[in-house]
Amino acid sequence: MYTTRRNFIKQSIGAGAMILGSAFVSRSQGVLKEKVLDKKLGIALIGLGYYSTEILAPALQETKNVYLAGIVSGAMDNEQYWLEKYNIPRRNVYNYENFDSIADNKDIDIIYVVLPNSMHKEYTIRAARAGKHVLCEKPMAVYAADCEEMIKACKDNNVRLSIGYRMQFEPHTQEVMRYGREKVFGDIKYVTASAGFINQSPKTHWKLQKAYGGGVLMDMGVYSIQGARYTIGEEPVSVTAQQYKTDPERYSEVDEIVTMQLTFPGGAIANLMTSFNVSTNMLYAAAERGWFDMNPFSSYRGIKLRTNNGPVELADINQQARQMDEVAWCIVNNLPMRVPGEEGLRDLKVVEAARKALASGKKENII
Amino acid sequence: MYTTRRNFIKQSIGAGAMILGSAFVSRSQGVLKEKVLDKKLGIALIGLGYYSTEILAPALQETKNVYLAGIVSGAMDNEQYWLEKYNIPRRNVYNYENFDSIADNKDIDIIYVVLPNSMHKEYTIRAARAGKHVLCEKPMAVYAADCEEMIKACKDNNVRLSIGYRMQFEPHTQEVMRYGREKVFGDIKYVTASAGFINQSPKTHWKLQKAYGGGVLMDMGVYSIQGARYTIGEEPVSVTAQQYKTDPERYSEVDEIVTMQLTFPGGAIANLMTSFNVSTNMLYAAAERGWFDMNPFSSYRGIKLRTNNGPVELADINQQARQMDEVAWCIVNNLPMRVPGEEGLRDLKVVEAARKALASGKKENII
């Protein structure tokens, strides 16, 4: 059984840096406290591509509640690099064949699934069956039904599940969520968001292949969907969608550019765009009594927020480190996850309806 | 015959305040000069509603090349207010019955048509036949074919025609046009723009009536269409469109909220929104090597521009005064109009295709 102690953390620049209302960082007697476990949980990364190599592993050098305990290494991965750089003991290195025997390894508490989208389901379920908690990258899976299976597998095996959306841990994003929740500017009436980058990967990359759950809607579109959902604070009920290809040969299997219009129960509309053809990352909201925007809104660092009253400057944190620390805290203390599997499922339901709308050319209900 | 003289004008705050590359304000020997006519042209306003009363008549107190010489007054207009406030001689006051006799009035050089949309065509053509130059409010007319008739009538009667879009005269907007034209950030790949206000007029107001060419697409949507066109610097080739009604009874005759997606020959996409349900006025563009946005982008004053490099602060001018002065200058000197009838026609072609797309639910070509 894990116990907790409380450490003071330095206040970042500006009072706004304090993340209030968080399950993880709380204010007690006027002093900001960060919840730190007595003993770090061990995390194993499966899928050692760019995100694990350049983002997660470095973030795990900053975490207080988790540490990089192991890896699951494939034929194409540079196992030696990981062993040396992060002092990972050989006993904590698995491959795709012996992965299930990770069940016997007491060093590993959490498996972080960073594989291509089509593999999220299988490895989340196998990790759950091995008795390990799961952090699974976004988008949660290729189909909503997959998400439901993953949620069930974790429940059945009594392990916790969280999806690797980072924005919910980011201070400016939390402030935007507060605007919607507390109606600081009145009801949100309109959101537009765009998320894209210039994809220069070879056509053989999994993000350009249908079999791996590739395509821009899955890769970047989910950020704009998430953005609309957390800004408006409601679940969308219908979607229309359009797609465009500037290079139909390259994007023969998957979508290159998609626009989507979501409607919400309260009458709000979200007009979204996602692209493999341009670098863009912005979210704008118009409300009854004002507006606000974030540019960028879903980048790893440097989120910028302004409202019609001026800029809002909060702390620029390591989102991945914050997320992994809070996930560990919630596991140990049996607290609700900030981004549970159900959150990934909701996005997939929108994605599925959007796919249907792309095919039918019609407005489709989100079930 | 009019002749010209040149006056120095005060440089507004910041070097950026100089409107270079303009047909109207030119740089000569390093000194900024404004082109001012020896004799002001006389303008008559027809349609004495909010825009004439609160915006155009006050602007005409600042103009150097035109003055408020006359009015065309309807049964509901407060003729006495106009006569007293602006010292308009009785001989320059017309009504809708004797309007055509304005042909004999040497005081009136230009008729500014500020009537409900459905009346633009008739009064532009009657003004042209009376031998008067025409400034016609946006949107130019209800149908593209109307615009073509208006252009022809002005040509046949040897008078000039300009449409009352103001943005082309606004320094920040001109800078944005330069970004597109000179590819300052490379090719523009994506534009999103929204233009809306909370319409609180009674249902009897012409903007809520189909017979008058009402509806939000006509009233505010044309700003977002114009914005996409002048930012991308190309003419759109296809459109998909969606509409939403939060109050179907109030908006039984006309559109309340519309979203539109335009495609451009070079592969750029514009994702637009216009609404009678929320106050919003923003335009964002993502290009190959950066982004920029304007918020607001089509307001009468206070346009704000920023790029990924920071804010761009230019002069905040009286757009209506600048436009009317330049129109007069171009009439006298037989120079091309910055916003000719053809510009209004192009927007109506997009509007017509958007109406078709709203009805069909399909992508429609813009012919």
In a domain, B341, yes or no: no
If asked whether residues A120 and A135 sit together in one domain, one would say: yes
Neighbours of A193 (CB within 10 A): 29
What average pLDDT does chain A have? Answer: 92
Same domain, A159 and A175: no
Start-to-end Cα distance in chain B: 41
Contacts of B287 in chain A (CB under 8 A): 278
- Residue of A261, A289, A309 best to disrupt the B interface, most CBs of B under 10 A: A261
- Confidence band, pLDDT 50/70/90 cuts, at residue B33: low
Residues A111 and A177 in one domain: no
Name residue, tokens 């012996």: A98
Same domain, A181 and A288: yes
Q: ∠ at Cα B21 (B16, B27), nearest 5°?
A: 75
Number of domains in chain A: 2
Question: What is the residue range of B290's domain?
Answer: 167-316
Name the interface residues of A facing B (CB cutoff 8 Å): 189-190, 192, 194, 196, 240, 242, 244, 246, 257, 259, 261, 263, 267, 269, 271-273, 275, 277-280, 282, 284, 286-288, 291, 293, 295, 361-363
CATH number at residue A117: 3.40.50.720
Domain harbouring B272, CATH code? 3.30.360.10
* DSSP conformation letters of B89-121: -GGGEE-TTTGGGGGG-TT--EEEE-S-GGGHH
pLDDT at A14 over 80: no
pLDDT tens track for A32-41: 457 899 999 9
- State the pTM of this model: 0.91
For chain A, what percent of residues have pLDDT higher than 70?
A: 91
Residue B305 lies in a domain: yes
* Same structural domain, B140 and B23: yes
Axis-axis angle for helices B120-129, B144-156 (nearest 10)? 10
Weakest-pLDDT range from A76-85, A153-162, B94-103: A76-85
Q: What is the mean pLDDT of residues A252-258?
A: 98
Query: What digits encode the pLDDT tens for the residues B326-362?
Result: 999 999 999 999 999 999 999 999 999 999 999 999 9
Domain's final residue, options B163, B192, B215: B163
**Once rounded to an integer, what is the mean pLDDT over residues A64-77?**
94
| Residue carrying structure tokens 């140990």 | A332
Task: Measure the CA–CA gap between A7 and A3, rounded to whole angstroms.
Answer: 13
Is residue A350 in a domain?
A: no
Same domain for B180 and B145:
no
Tell me which amino acid residue A313 is.
Answer: E
Tell me the shortest Cα–Cα distance from B24 to chain A, in angstroms: 33
Contact between A164 and A323 under an 8 Å Cβ cutoff? The reply is yes
Provide the pLDDT for residue B11.
30
Instruction: List, for residues B91-131, the tens digit of each pLDDT value.
Output: 999 999 999 999 999 999 999 999 999 999 999 999 999 99
- Asked if pLDDT for residue B7 goes beyond 80, the answer is no
> Do B206 and B74 lie in a common domain?
no
**Residues A146 and A215 reside in one and the same domain:** no
Mark whether A134 and A260 lie in a shared domain. no
> Interface of chain B against chain A, CB under 8 Å?
189-190, 192, 194, 196, 240, 242, 244, 246, 257, 259, 261, 263, 267, 269, 271-273, 275, 277-280, 282, 284, 286-288, 291, 293, 295, 361-363
Give the DSSP letter of residue A59: H
Q: What is the sign, positive or negative, of the torsion defined by CA atoms of A319, A322, A325, A330?
A: negative
At residue B10, the pLDDT reads 32
Judgement on whether residues A11 and A157 belong to the same structural domain of the protein: yes
Residue A197 in any domain: the answer is yes
